[in-house]
């Protein structure tokens, strides 16, 4: 039973590590790539559902900075899938008021893919609905390092003083600038680790792990995760009594 100290509202920002595509396919004696294709269908369903629930932001981990270590053929199939999905979905995202942002080191992608990403972001930039963040060639360490590089440049040019480097300023230089930190983090596929996803941003996020493989994760699974979130008491360092007092006043 939720008490008055528990969350009653939906998370504003949900971050998901979509894991288990390969195992889903292997269980069915199919090549791993079929799992990635099936995973795209789940992405569609989850994006639609988040838009329907009027969630402010959904961040999806699509490709980590470590995933280049995979066999060349799998990496190249994943890049193709990313490209065709982007191309095929952008109009639909746009029609549904969804604003797309791709975060990660995009310089490693082909010129053509980089152009597609810029086009898709531009086409949807004025939309006011769900902020859909796709993390591709993303690493939490990389995100912090690129923020530090930009801040250092600004200090070097005299635009900024080192005393002005606050937590808020660092957050403004991360690739998620302008978005609230995730309230709910979900990882499918049974693994219980962060795998270099949004390290800074997950400081006070509620974690939810499920053994469901990503292609099996559906709208019901998401609403179960949201229910679990609503049964958490987020204390942010306060005591439970203080949280209850704050809610009453």
Interface residue list for ligand IPE (CB under 6 A): 17-23, 61-64, 67, 78, 189, 191, 193, 195
| C-alpha distances out from residue 210 to 25, 28, 79, 222, Å | 18, 20, 26, 10
151 binds, among ligand IPE, Mg ion, none (CB under 5 to 8 A by kind): none
Of the pair 25, 58, the CB lying nearest Mg ion is at: 25
When asked if residue 19 is in the footprint of Mg ion (CB under 5 A), the reply is yes
Given the rule CB under 5 A, which of 16-24, 127-135, 138-146, 147-155 is the region that contacts Mg ion? 16-24
Of the pair 11, 35, the CB lying nearest Mg ion is at: 35
Backbone dihedral angles phi then psi of residue 16, each to the nearest 5 degrees: -130, 130
SS3 206: strand
- Nearest C-alpha neighbor of 171 from the set 143, 194, 149: 143
Given the rule CB under 5 A, which of 15-23, 49-57, 76-84, 216-224 is the region that contacts Mg ion? 15-23
| C-alpha distances out from residue 46 to 28, 59, 146, Å | 23, 11, 30
Catalytic residue among 10, 67, 127, 196: 67
Of the pair 19, 206, the CB lying nearest Mg ion is at: 19
245 binds, among ligand IPE, Mg ion, none (CB under 5 to 8 A by kind): none
Task: Name the minimum Å distance from CB 191 to Mg ion.
Answer: 7
Burial of residue 69 (number of CB atoms within 10 Å: 0-12, 13-18, 19+): exposed
Task: Name the minimum Å distance from CB 62 to ligand IPE.
Answer: 5
- Nearest C-alpha neighbor of 9 from the set 202, 206, 218: 206
- Size of interface with Mg ion, in residues (CB under 5 A): 1
**Closest residue to Mg ion: CB criterion:** 19
**Closest residue to ligand IPE: CB criterion:** 22
Known catalytic membership, residue 183: no
Q: Which alpha helices (DSSP H) does 21-110 contain, by range?
A: 21-27, 32-52, 72-95
Task: Name the minimum Å distance from CB 19 to Mg ion.
Answer: 4
61 binds, among Mg ion, ligand IPE, none (CB under 5 to 8 A by kind): ligand IPE
Instruction: Using the CB atoms, write b or e for 21-52: b if 16+ within 10 Å.
Output: bbbbbeeeeeebbbbbbbbbebbeebbebbbe
Of the pair 21, 176, the CB lying nearest ligand IPE is at: 21
Subset of 210-249 contacting Mg ion (CB under 5 A):
none
Q: Could you give the maximum distance between any two Cα atoms of the chain, in Å?
A: 59
Give CA–CA dist 143/136, Å, rounded: 12
Q: Which residues bind Mg ion (CB under 5 A)?
A: 19
Show which residues are catalytic: 19, 67
């Amino acid at each position: 039973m939720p008490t008055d100290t528990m969350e009653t509202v939906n998370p504003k920002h949900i971050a998901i590590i979509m894991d288990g595509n390969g195992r889903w396919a292997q269980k069915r004696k199919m090549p791993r790539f079929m799992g990635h294709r099936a995973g795209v269908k789940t992405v569609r369903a989850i994006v639609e559902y988040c838009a329907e629930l009027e969630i402010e932001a959904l961040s999806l981990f699509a490709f980590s900075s470590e995933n280049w270590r995979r066999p060349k053929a799998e990496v190249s199939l994943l890049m193709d899938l990313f490209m065709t999905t982007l191309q095929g979905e952008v109009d639909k995202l746009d029609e549904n008021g969804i604003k797309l942002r791709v975060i990660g080191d995009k310089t490693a992608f082909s010129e053509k893919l980089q152009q597609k990403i810029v086009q898709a972001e531009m086409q949807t930039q004025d939309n006011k609905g769900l902020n859909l963040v796709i993390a591709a060639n993303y690493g939490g360490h990389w995100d912090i390092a690129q923020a530090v590089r930009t801040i250092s440049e600004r200090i070097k040019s005299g635009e900024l003083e080192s005393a002005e480097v606050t937590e808020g300023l660092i957050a403004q230089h991360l690739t998620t600038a302008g978005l609230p930190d995730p309230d709910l983090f979900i990882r499918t596929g049974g693994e219980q680790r962060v795998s270099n996803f949004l390290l800074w941003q997950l400081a006070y996020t509620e974690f939810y792990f499920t053994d469901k493989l990503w292609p099996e994760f559906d709208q019901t699974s998401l609403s179960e995760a949201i229910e679990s979130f609503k049964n958490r008491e987020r204390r942010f360092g306060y005591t439970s009594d203080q949280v209850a007092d704050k809610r009453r006043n």
